[in-house]
Amino acid sequence: MNDRAALGSRIRRFLMEHLVGERNLARNTQQSYRDAVRLLVVFASLKTHKKVDDLLIPDIDADLLRAFLHHIEEKRKCSVSSRNQRLAAIHALASFIAERCPEYLDWCARLRTVRVKRTAPRPVCYLEKPEIDALLDAPSPVTKLGYRDRTLLLFLYNSGARAEEAAKLCVEDLNFHADAAAALSSVRLHGKGGKVRVCPLWASTTAALRNLVAGRSGTERVFLNRRSEPLTRFGIHDVVTRYAHAAMNRVPELRKKRVGPHTIRHTTATHLLRAGVDINTIRAWLGHVSINTTNIYAETDLEMKAKALGLCVVNGKRSPKRWRDNPDLMSFLAQI
């Protein structure tokens, strides 16, 4: 077999060298690319009647790629968004191969003719103040796990942290100040792509976190499970959804919403915006690279739109004046 045509060796280099060493992508992104490539090669193996290790680069043509995308939508019931994410990973693999093997430039160009599908943006789901209050009050602070869970929910709402960021949070990332300067307490969050940002902590969050991590070393994770092992992002998701379900009894409106850690993140951004915090500060608070990402909160908040509309209300009807009714030229020019 022609080594330059072998697909398997190129995939290994793409995943192990390019994504990690050259692109320095986040671990979750690496795994997403890996999953897309794995699904593709399994599908290609079935279609070409070849073993996965025997697949060649030309075996993955544009027609096979279109069939694969149709397969994951129809058979695997993936959303259009997931379909587009898989396609982006495969396009990245094709570009990687073409850059290192110029003879496959035309092959790469044909694969890239397969376009992403347009999809309507989903409205941002966030919680109103009574809803987030009910969620924060759902855990019982009397038990050890209940206290941890309430502290976790309060921290997520305070910081707008992603589930992954909360899971990786270490004690040394917390910067506490004495009671007189409690407003200066902060947390250092490690976000996507190794980016680090600092967020202020409320006095209530500071007190809860201080009690939670008392006596622990700086390298320990802040949020631990019942076996004193670090909570994963999946564990954090379970905590949020469990208490969201419990809070539905108090606030029935929650039944209409799908509540997870990212919903709390959206809630933080929306409430900061309503409080008058400027959009660029919120962008830095959430760790967004582009302010366009943060602008979605200004577009989806109905309360702010209603206030803006109220400023434009016309009081009463004004009968237009005819220019002949005011013979003074300067007055006429001033009123038109």
Any catalytic annotation for residue 288? yes
Domain formed by 3-111, architecture = Orthogonal Bundle (1.10)
Any catalytic annotation for residue 317? no
* Entry pTM: 0.73
The residue from 18, 168, 271, 288 that is catalytic is 288
Secondary structure (3-state) at 140? coil
Residues of the chain with CATH 1.10.443.10: 129-309
Any catalytic annotation for residue 262? yes
Q: By the 8 A CB rule, do 59 and 7 touch? A: yes
**Furthest-apart CA atoms within the chain: distance in Å:** 94
Q: By the 8 A CB rule, do 105 and 98 touch? A: yes
129-309 belongs to CATH 1.10.443.10: yes
Residues near 5 by beta carbon (within 8 Å), at least 6 away in sequence:
56, 57, 58
Any catalytic annotation for residue 297? yes
CA distance 185 to 203: 8
Secondary structure (3-state) at 326? coil
Cα–Cα distances in Å, from 109 out to 3, 100, 129? 21, 14, 50
Any catalytic annotation for residue 192? yes
The residue from 13, 112, 188, 192 that is catalytic is 192
Any catalytic annotation for residue 237? no
Residue 3's pLDDT band (boundaries 50, 70, 90)? confident
pLDDT tens digits for range 191-250 = 887 789 999 999 999 999 999 999 999 999 999 999 999 999 999 999 999 999 999 999
Residues of the chain with CATH 1.10.150: 3-111
pLDDT tens digits for range 181-192 = 667 899 999 988
pLDDT tens digits for range 39-68 = 999 999 999 999 999 999 999 999 999 999
The residue from 18, 83, 148, 162 that is catalytic is 162
